[in-house]
Amino acid sequence: MKIITKEEFMKKTVSAGVSAEAFGGTETLPDMSNYGGVKFNCGCGSKHKIKETRATTYIPKKHYIILCPDLTCMNYVKFNFFSTETIFASDKC
């Protein structure tokens, strides 16, 4: 996973048109109950269970912007069947 500045994170996601609506997704909080026990590597250095956190945006092809439960960073996470890959994370929220 690559750690980038908050500004760069925003440019790669929201500012660059990687918003949910641009790709047919949704800006509402997605239902993450199917991933309740799945963990992801967070930019804060910890692994968190999905049920401990909140996805803010769903982007089709199972990509989510997920906030760290400690509110220290934002993560751009790709979901596979039973695993996750954090593509990049911001250095702060």
CA 56 to chain centroid: 7
* DSSP code string of 73-93: -EEEEEE-SS-EEEEEEES--
Task: Give 1 or 56, the one with higher predicted confidence.
Answer: 1
Of the candidate ranges 4-8, 11-15, 66-70, 81-85, the one whose mean pLDDT is the lowest = 11-15
pTM of this structure: 0.77
Tally of structural domains, the chain:
1
The chain-wide mean pLDDT, for the chain, equals 79
Structural domain including 20 reads 2-90
Number of DSSP helices (H) and strands (E) in the chain, helices first: 1, 7
Non-local (6+) Cβ contacts of 45 within 8 A are none
Q: Tell me the per-residue pLDDT of 2-37, one tens digit each, with 9 for 90 and over.
A: 999 999 998 888 755 555 454 454 455 666 767 777
- Confidence category of residue 86, pLDDT binned at 50, 70, 90: very high
